[in-house]
Structure 1
Amino acid sequence: MGSERQERMRALGVRLRGLRVEAGLTGAVLAERAGVGQPTVSKVENGRMVPSPDVLGRLCDGLGLDAPTVREVRDLLIAVETAAPDTPDTPRPDGAPAGTLLDDAVRTARLVRSFQCVVLPAMLQSAEYARHVFQSAPGATPEAVGRAVATRVERQSVLYEPGRESVFVLTEGVLRTWPGTPSLMLAQLDRLLAVESLSTVRLGVLPWTRPVPALPRHGFTLLDRTAVAVETLRDERVLDDPAEVAAYEDTFTCFEEAAVFGAEARELVLGVMKDFRNLDESTTR
């Protein structure tokens, strides 16, 4: 038996799978109708992912559910969200490190706005940087880390999809907080410059020479305008309370207005890369 939360996740997944089968749809067809990735449908149905209210609404629309059935599945989601939280020793449903469910949530959003003050946003991480992130999660195994890294890299393809918008705001401290080696960070920062050039992406950096508009307690990712994802050491939480989402949106706006974008941001990243090159040379002498 799993935790109360896991049992309710499975109940929600079983009900959605039954409704899909009744509708005569494959997982791939439902994913296309709902505008989500097929892995999202699979993970929800197998009780390995808690869908955000927005994703659940898309699945309901894709299934063509009537109002009473929509209320039923929404009640099942509420039951998941109100279940007793897992204890630190509770294994994740698929054995994956924290962060993988966040990747799925980002995959289904059309507008992603992420502010980070310690770690690079998931969608911008290189494979080696992501490996260090997942390895730092309590209880992570090499096999699970490998799967998580592959999933994260695959999810990043959404950055190139027309019709999506991604806005990332980082403190300069994020660029200078490095795992592994200086050469790892040089490759990572080179990737930032490549992503920044995309028409679907805006990258802002808050220089250390400017005061922060607020003292952030943690990073966060806004999903469309209806939810916010917060990643912890052990899990991810998607919050959809309107007042809470509005508070995070206000905070994001403050940092967005204080950050530099475009040529100024690129120049700042290039300056950090110069420092890493000097550090790399000093460590290899």
Structure 2
Amino acid sequence: MGSERQERMKALGVRLRGLRTEAGLTGAVLAHRAGVGQPTVSKVENGRMVPSADVLDRLARALDLDESTRQEVRDLLVAVETASDAVEAPEPQASVVGALDEAVRSARLVRSFGCVVLPAMLQSAEYARHVFGSAPDATPEAVGRAVAARVERQSLLYEPGRESAFVLTEAVLRTWPGSPALMLAQLDRLLAVESLSTVRLGVLPWRRAVPVMPRHGFTLCDRAAVVVETFRNERASDDSAEVVAYEETFRQFEAAAVYGSEVRELLLRVMADFRDLDSSATR
């Protein structure tokens, strides 16, 4: 069971989806008419995102709602904004997977920056298990489902017509959960992913100064939305000014990173360090 706020978000989403269906519109058509990203329509209708008053008004105009129905959906939004956010034992995938999942699935260009934790699309199953297992009130069953969903989504890396770009700090490669053996397997996966024609992987070596202080990780989905990592969850936004700001930040990190053979050499050096740690642990 979710919080009062989550339940009211779902109610708002169900009502908007019903109005869209009555108007005979697809989510894509509604998004185009309203001037918002398609992931926004999907997340709002599924109760995973609270629209701003401006976005709600755009959707209402695109649906050609009469004034009484517009007021009804405005009241539903007010109800969401004033509801309690207390949550009863959230499952990890509700807080960590949900915000990113649909945005990534619908995007043809995904750009992720990581400063401590690996981006979701690069995580091995065991690494992801530690990520989800660290969530408050995590249960083995919920963690298992979250890991399965994350691994399934990673098949998008191999789809023709999609492009993925990742920039990591060297700190990401050296911040390790579990054991050195886990990280050896994770780094081996990064070597395999780096070789894909659909993927561009860059690393900011510790020997280079960063162009911007990396405060948190984030993922850009096309040029329509950004998902920002916080301590407890992930926050999705399609605010155009915010997306542009994160695009510029990503470009700065991207320009400072190393690629290709330099990344492979760096990964191999880090793997050698983890092998030394692994050997020390087994003596």
Q: Does the residue aligned with 2:117 lie in a helix, a strand or coil?
A: coil
Any conservation in 2 of the 1:162–1:200 contact (CA below 8 Å)?
yes
> For structure 2, which runs of at least 5 residues remain unmatched after alignment?
32-37
Deviation, 1:80, is 8.3
Matched, 1:50 2:49: yes
Q: So what's the TM-score if we normalise by structure 1?
A: 0.79
What is the CA distance between 1:50 and its match in structure 2?
A: 2.9
Shift of residue 215, structure 1, vs aligned partner = 0.9
Corresponding position of 2:64? 68
Task: Tell me which residue corresponds to 2:12.
Answer: 12
Runs of 4+ in 1 over 6 A off after TM superposition: 92-95
CA offset at residue 23 of structure 1?
A: 8.3
Match of 1:131 in 2: 129
Corresponding position of 1:98: 95
Q: Larger C-alpha radius of gyration, 1 or 2?
A: 2
Instruction: Describe the shift of the 1:82–1:229 C-alpha distance in structure 2 as closer, same or farther (beyond 3 A).
Output: farther
Give the C-alpha shift of residue 105 in structure 1.
2.4
TM-score by length of 2: 0.79
Moved more, 107-116 or 202-211: 107-116
| Structure 1 residue 15, shift from structure 2 partner | 2.7
Aligned partners of 1:97 and 1:134 also within 8 Å: no
CA distance in 2, matches of 1:51, 1:195: 34
The aligned residue for residue 35 of structure 2 is none
The answer to whether the Cα contact below 8 Å between 2:44 and 2:51 also exists between their aligned partners in 1 is no
What corresponds to 1:119 in structure 2?
Answer: 117
What's the offset of the Cα at 1:2?
A: 5.4
User: Secondary structure of the residue that 1:280 maps to in structure 2?
Assistant: helix
Q: Would you say how many aligned residue pairs link Structure 1 and Structure 2?
A: 266
Question: Unaligned stretches of 5+ in structure 1?
Answer: none
Partner of 2:173: 175
C-alpha separation between the residues in 2 aligned to 1:166 and 1:81?
38
- 1:228 and 1:248 in contact (8 A); partners too: yes
1:85 and 1:227 mapped to 2: Cα distance?
25
In structure 1, C-alpha distance between the alignment counterparts of 2:79 and 2:198, rounded to whole Å: 32
One-letter code of the match for 2:137? G
Partner amino acid, structure 1, of 2:64: P
Separation in 2, partners of 1:147, 1:16? 29
Select the residue among 256, 259, 262 that pairs with 1:258: 256
The Cα shift of 1:263 comes to 1.2
Q: Contact between 1:231 and 1:237, CA under 8 Å: does it hold in 2?
A: yes
Q: Contact between 1:220 and 1:231, CA under 8 Å: does it hold in 2?
A: yes
1:218 offset after TM fit, Å? Answer: 0.8
Identity of aligned residues (%): 69
Say which SS state the counterpart of residue 166 (structure 2) adopts.
strand
